[in-house]
Amino acid sequence: MAKELHEDICNEVIFERIYNTYSKDLNNFLYYKYGAELNPSDKAQDAFIKLWDNCKKVTFSKAKSFLFTVANNLMLNDIKHQKVVLKYQKLQTNASSNETPEFILEQEQYLERYKKVLESLKEEQRVAFLLNKVEGKKHSEIAEILGVTQKVVEYRIYSAFKILKAELENFSIK
């Protein structure tokens, strides 16, 4: 069955008539629903461009529905994009600090020295110290894990702390 002439929206005259009929309503719809911040007139124009690109697939009777659906989806996609941008900005804001580059460099250098001193400790000192200070285990728990007495664990932690304090300036642990 051949299409009737009035249904061929690829015809420039008919497309212009559709544009003149629906452009203001579409723009107003988007403006009232989403506000001016997301550029409703741009989305309305983009909807008409998509209609022109798909003019062979869309009939004259479905043109209005197509325009409003496409424009609404464009606005929703823009809102989703804005949410992603805001989330990323929030992450970036939290990642920044008020510390000077010199302080950050000193902190990194201190951490490197700390790691080297930890590596230089005897294994039993390092294990006892890290179990206590990093994992928060009590001396009795460490003694049970290592199979030694609680006094041995206390001595190992104390000796590790003494070495760290001697090797690193301003070293203290709470």
Average pLDDT for 117-142: 88
The whole-number pLDDT of residue 121 equals 87
Amino acid (one-letter) located at 158: Y
- Cβ–Cβ < 8 Å for 35, 27: no
Going by pLDDT thresholds of 50, 70 and 90, the confidence category of residue 3 is: very low
Cα angle 145-147-148, degrees, rounded to a multiple of 5: 115
> Mean pLDDT across the stretch 169-173?
71
Average pLDDT, the chain: 85
- Residue 22 is predicted with a pLDDT of 93
pLDDT of residue 2 exceeding 80: no
Q: How far apart are CA 131 and CA 37, in angstroms?
A: 55
User: Pick from 17, 25, 21, 26: which is nearest to 46 by CA?
Assistant: 26
Q: What is the mean pLDDT of residues 119-130?
A: 88
What are the residue ranges spanned by the domains of the chain?
5-95, 101-167
* pTM of the predicted protein model: 0.50
Count other C-beta atoms under 10 Å from residue 147's C-beta: 7
Give pLDDT, residue 96.
60
What top-level class would CATH report for the domain 101-167? mainly alpha
Q: Which of 34-48, 89-103, 107-121 has the lowest mean pLDDT?
A: 89-103
Structure confidence at residue 140 (pLDDT): 92
Residue 93 confidence (pLDDT)? 61
* Tens-place pLDDT, residues 50-90: 999 999 999 999 999 999 999 999 999 988 988 888 888 87
Contact predicate 160/129, CB 8 Å: yes
Q: Which residue has the tokens 């000077």?
A: 100
Q: How far apart are CA 17 and CA 35, in angstroms?
A: 26
Find the DSSP H helices in 35-122: 40-53, 63-95, 101-120
Flag the least confident range among 42-46, 72-76, 98-102.
Answer: 98-102
